[in-house]
Amino acid sequence: MPLTDSLRNDILAAVPSLRAFAISLSGNADRADDLVQETLLRALANIDSFQPGSNLPAWLFTILRNLFRSDYRKRRREVEDAEGNYAKTLKTQPSQNAHLEFEEFRTALEKLPQDQREALILVGASGFSYEDAASICGCAVGTIKSRVNRARSKLAALLYVDGAEDFGPDETIRAVIGGSGG
């Protein structure tokens, strides 16, 4: 469809979420904004192929995800060349009010396999349905579900080191100590 004012506004409205997705994927704010810019250029160049009434955010996310994927393959070689340097840039780009909590979480997220990370973000943060996430990633709905589950399990193992078993009792002890002190 042609680029109408309302379509342009819809694209603009999707930008904050596209940026958040790009940063979660790449772990690097500068690179994320380059990805978003390229996504917008590509979307606008191919706007005729967008079906009116279909899911615009999903269409834009698909473009961004594919760009990241092809870029990722290139970067991987660079990482092997410049051992360590790239990994460092991932950690030195905290957002304005990133707290230690975010940093820990981000680091854990970086350790997930690509497939699992994107599935978890699309469903758990971007708010896409399993069906939309599956179409964005070009795979079956069941595959997305199992990737999300594996991503959650792995994050839990990374973040709550003592494992799921210890979490409940710990909380109870803390509650008891806190409760009897007053």
- The residues of the shown chain that bind another protein, judged by CB under 8 A, are 3, 5, 8, 11-12, 15-17, 19-21, 23-24, 33, 36-37, 40-42, 44-45, 95-98, 101-102, 105-106, 109, 120-121, 124-126, 149-150, 152-153, 155-156, 159-160, 164-165, 167-169, 171-172, 175-176, 179
Q: CB nearer to another protein: give 42 or 75.
A: 42
Least spacing, CB of residue 177 vs another protein, in Å? 11
Q: How far is the CB of 61 from another protein (least distance, A)?
A: 13
Closer to another protein by Cβ: residue 114 or 149:
149
Secondary structure of the chain as H, E, C letters: CCCCHHHHHHHHHHHHHHHHHHHHHHCCHHHHHHHHHHHHHHHHHCHHHCCCCCCHHHHHHHHHHHHHHHHHHHHHHHHHHCCCHHHHHHHCCCCCCCCHHHHHHHHHHHCCCHHHHHHHHHHHCCCCCHHHHHHHHCCCHHHHHHHHHHHHHHHHHHHCCCCHHHHHHHHHHHHHHHHHHC
Q: Which is nearer to another protein, 58 or 155 (CB)?
A: 155
